[in-house]
Structures are given as structure tokens and as C-alpha cells.
Structure 1
Amino acid sequence: MPFEKFDLTGKTALVTGAAGILGTEHAAALLEAGATVALTDVNTAALTSAKDMLSQHFSSKNILVKVMDVSNAESVQDVANELTSGGISVDILVNNAAIDPKVTEERGILETSRLENFPMPQWDLQIAVGLTGAFLCSKIFGSTMAKSGRGGVIVNIASDLSVLSPDQRLYRKAGLSKDLQPVKPVTYSVIKAGLVGLTRYLATYWADEGVRCNALSPGGVFNGQSDEFVLRLCKLIPLGRMAAREEYRAAVQFLCSDASSYMNGQNVIMDGGRSAW
């Protein structure tokens, strides 16, 4: 069978930030390939909604739900212990959890998004979730993979902004002075670039134990953004459009399966060609 190596039947995957837009898609990709998937998120209500939505298309027996705060080592360890106690071994870890600071014109938020005014509490929070969270999950679940004798796979969800600086011209608003122009906050770029560095580190750290690690860097995903923003961004993308949320499913299946068995330490950029210009 040509797609046999994509088959994840008998594997268990854990997805962080699974209640988010792409988190749910990553979970769907893994379920589609036959895996059992543990959905984890700090938002209990959103997590329940994600499971309900996925259960409309996939067997609910293959969907586990665990409330987990990736920024808290004890919370991550508790989930690991619960799974182990239930006889469940995590074969695949998808580090997807993040706080994506949206560019907004709302006063107060607008001013503090700029580098000169960016508040330390927001820096600490966003780094804790997006980067420290990936480290903690990799440390706890990856260590178990390495000791299991079966190996495993870690996929870090980065971004095209792991290799590009945000083009702040995308967010400009007429009539605002330079010091009030909205911007993509500094934390997003730092976190996503950091995830690529973490990927390379992990790729060599447990390679002898059969644990591979790669990063997936999506480009902009359409999610009801303003027509003005979409038009500006699409001019920067050779394919001339933003991604549909489901377009990353096959990449996740590839990176999490034996189809990519010789890929390790790489950052797969899927941005419609934006970074090629």
C-alpha cells in the first residue's frame, strides 16, 4: 500500500492547545490516520467543545480529554501520570499550545503591543505558554519515549515568523501616528524562532533512542480576518491566498508517521511561498 507508512493505528498522540483552531485540525489529522489522540488544553469548556466536534467525524473512544496547563510542570506531570496509570503510552507529542497575540486597534492593548511599551507580565506569560510549555512537555513526555525502547516523535508548531520578521505594514491604520500604529508583538517571533532552536536541540538529544523531532511552520490561516488585512497579506504570498485551516493536516500526518522516518531536526515551512520571496 502506497500510504502504509502514514498509518498511525495503535499509536497515541498528545496535542497541546488542542482546543484552538489549528490544534483541533492537528488532532483531526492524527485521528484520520488512525491514532488515539489525547486533547489537552487549559480551557475546559473549549476542550469539551473540541471533543464534541471531533466526535462527529471520528470514534469518541479514540479521543481522550485532559485539562493541562503546559506552563506548569506539575500539571504536565499529573497528566503524564494519569495516562501511564491508564496503561497509555504517548508515542507522538505535538507542541501546539501558544498565546497568539492578535493585532488590535483597541486602545490600551494597541499601545502596549508596541516594543517600547510591551509589559513584562505579558512577555512572561506568552513565553511560559509558547516556549517553556513546549520544553516542559518535551522533557516529560520525550523522556518517557526515550526510555520506552520504542522511540517516538515530537512535532513543534512554529510559524513562518520563525524565519521572517513580521511585516508591520500589514497592520497599519490610516490616521494613527507612528507611536500608535498596531504591531505584531515581539513575543510571537521570539517564541516561534525559539521553537525551531528547541527542535534542533531535541533532534540530536534523543536520536540514539529513536526519538525524532521536527517543526512545522504554517503561514497565515484564514479565520475571518478583515478584507483589508487579507488583501495586504495575499500580496506577499506567491500563491495569492491564505491557507485554509485543513491544509496542514497532511503535513502533520507526514511528520508524525513513519513516512518521515529519516527526517529529523527540520523546520518544514508551509507558507504558500511567502518566505521564498
Structure 2
Amino acid sequence: MKSKINLKNLFELQNKTVILTGSAGRLGTRFAHVLSSAGANVILVDIQNKKNLSLAKTLQKKYHTKPMAVNIDINQEKEVKYLTKIVLKKFKKIDILVNNAHYVERNDPQKNSNFENYPTSLWEKMTSDNLRGLFLCSKEIGKIMSKQNKGVIVNISSIHGIVGADQRIYGKSKLNSPVTYAVFKGGLVNMTRYLAAYWQGKNIRVNTLTLGGVFDKQLHKDKSFVKKYSEKTILGRMAKKEDYDGSLLFLASDASSYMTGSNLIIDGGWTAV
């Protein structure tokens, strides 16, 4: 007997417990809505407590799910252990982890320094903070998934984790893609492969979602940068936040049940040419 195709069930996350790091950021907030709209109870993990609490209230009211805002620093092992403890106490399981957090030292005047002048202290802080949080969340939540014999991890990366940043597009804009960003996002892609292979036989799927640049009218005021970036994509534009809704849902749900150790690239064709 042929199995029936039910697209709604294929992509649904009804009553799934999802831990989303970096939930109060631009993309994190969008991801929280996408996951909640599919029925998931999203654990919102961020250091921006006010934004996170407000987001939790919005999600509960709009989707009638059970979101939980947790204000912790994922670079602190004790705090990540605390996160898993309170989530298990309330929901008894953790189905999905979305490693979306990305720490940026926005107030450091040297954050946009070129490679030759990039401060060693900033290199150490940026690489340590970003990779440490990824490691701790994957380790502690992976332990639980291993005991459950089931779980899904989605790591959010960038095109600059798989190709070099084209410095020509930045021009005189105050934007750039520092070496630390490439190291973090590139390391994340290969950590996906490592964990997928490591948990072989544990029914834990681990995949990367690699994104192109998302247009933000507050951030991208330099028209020359937007034009140059857009011209490097086949589709001729920067991404909109909603362009990633389907790909995130695909990787988090049973729609990707035969996919692990892979990298799904959604970039408007940037890396195709």
C-alpha cells in the first residue's frame, strides 16, 4: 500500500520543543515566528531580556503555543546546563536546537579594522565567544538528544562561511566582513559534518542552513554597497527575512528526514557563479 502524502503534517512542528539561540536578533525573531506558526513551543534564548520577554508574549498570543523566554549567556557552561534543566522540567524533552546566535562587538571602534590591523584581543574574544556558545549548546543539548535517541540540530551559517568575502563590494561603506566572522561561520559548517557523523545511529540529524545577506534599511544605507551586492547574485537582490522561512522549516521538520551532515545554501545564486 502506497503511503499517503500529507504536506501539512510533513512540515508541522506541533508540540515540538525547540531551543532557538539568538532569538531577539533580526533573523532570530523571524525564525521564532516561523517555528511557532508550525506549532512549536519555542524556547527563546538571548541576552536581550526585554526583547525576548516581549517576543514570548507576542508568540503566545498569536499562535497559542507555549514559548519560554530564557535570559542566559550561552558562553557560560553553568547557564547552558541551567537552560536544559528548566526546559526538561517543563517540557520533558528537547526536539530541535537552532544554533542561530552570533555575537558582535558593536561598540568596539576597531571592529571593522582590515586584516593587517585587526586586534589580536578582538580576534580572541570574537572567535572564542562565538565558537564556545555553539560548542556548549550542541554538547549539552546533544547529550539529551542522545539519551532520547532522537533530535534535530540546525546550524545557521553564512555564505562567508563557504566562500571568501569579496572586499570590493564594501567600498567606502562602514560595513565589512571581518576574518572572525568567516572563521566562526566556516567552523560551524564543518562542525555540522562532525556532529552528524559522530551521532550516527542515535537518530540525531544535524544540518547547516547557509544564508545570503539580508537587506536591512537601517543597516544598509549605502546604496553603492546594496547595488554591488545585488549584482553578484543571480536573482539581482539582497534577501528578505521571509526568504528563509521555508528552508528553516524544511530542516527542522520531518520534511528533511533523510538529510543529515548537509549544507542547504539559500543565497540568491551568490555562490553559483
Q: Distance in 2 between matches of 1:30 and 1:182?
A: 30
Query: Which residue is 1:177 aligned to?
Result: none
How has the CA–CA distance of structure 1 residues 120 and 74 changed in structure 2, closer, same or farther, with 3 Å as cutoff? farther
1:246 — aligned with what? 242
Bigger relative contact order, structure 1 or 2 (CA pairs below 8 A, ≥6 apart): 1
Deviations 1:111-169 (A, max 9, x none): x62112222332233223322211110100011001113x0000000011111111111
Contact 1:12 1:88 in 2 (8 A): no
Q: What is the TM-score when the length of structure 2 is the normalising length?
A: 0.91
Cα 1:191–1:47 shift into 2, 3 Å: same
More displaced 10-residue stretch of structure 1: 5-14 or 82-91: 82-91
Ranges of 4+ aligned residues in structure 1 off by more than 6 Å: none
User: Which runs of structure 2 are paired with 1:53-72 in the superposition (5 Å)?
Assistant: 53-55=58-60, 57-59=62-64, 61-72=65-76
Q: Which residue of 1 aligns with 2:264?
A: 268
Q: Which amino acid aligns with 2:151?
A: G
Q: Secondary structure at the match of 1:251?
A: helix
* Root mean square deviation, CA, Å: 2.0
Q: SS state of the match for residue 7, structure 2?
A: coil
- Report the alpha carbon displacement of residue 23 of structure 1 after superposing the two structures with TM: 0.8
In the alignment, the residues of structure 2 paired with residue 114 and residue 261 of structure 1 have an alpha-carbon distance, to the nearest angstrom, of: 42
Q: Which amino acid aligns with 1:203?
A: A
Query: Match of 1:90, SS?
Result: coil
Residue identity in the other structure for 1:73: E
Q: Distance in 2 between matches of 1:97 and 1:121?
A: 21
Q: Is structure 2 residue 97 aligned with structure 1 residue 93?
A: yes
Paired position in structure 1 for 2:115: 115
Residue 31 (1) aligns with residue 36 (2)? yes
| SS of residue matched to 1:262 | coil
- 1:101 and 1:184 in contact (8 A); partners too: no
- State whether residues 110 and 119 of structure 2, in contact with CA within 8 Å, keep that contact through their aligned partners in structure 1: no
- Gaps in structure 1 of 5+ consecutive residues: 175-180
- Determine the structure 1 residue equivalent to 2:204: 211
8 Å contact from structure 2 (residues 60, 66) kept in 1: no
Q: d(CA) in 1 for partners of 2:94 and 2:268?
A: 32
- Structure 2 runs not aligned, ≥5 long: 1-5
* Structure 1 position 52, deviation (Å): 4.1
Q: Residues 229 and 54 of structure 1: is their aligned pair in 2 closer, same or farther, counting only changes over 3 Å? A: farther
Q: Measure, in 1, the Cα distance between the counterparts of 2:102 and 2:117.
A: 21
Give 3-state SS (helix, strand or coil) of 1:65's partner.
strand
Distance change >3 Å, CA 188–CA 101, structure 1 → 2: farther
Report SS of the residue matched to 1:113: coil
Paired residue type of 1:125? K
Report the counterpart of residue 198 of structure 1 in structure 2: 191
Amino acid at match of 1:72: Q
Post-superposition offset of 1:207: 2.2
* Aligned pairs for 1:112-191 within 5 A: 113-149=113-149, 151-173=150-172, 183-191=176-184
Answer whether contact 1:114 1:182 (CA < 8 A) is retained: no
Shift of 1:87: 4.0
2:3 aligns with: none
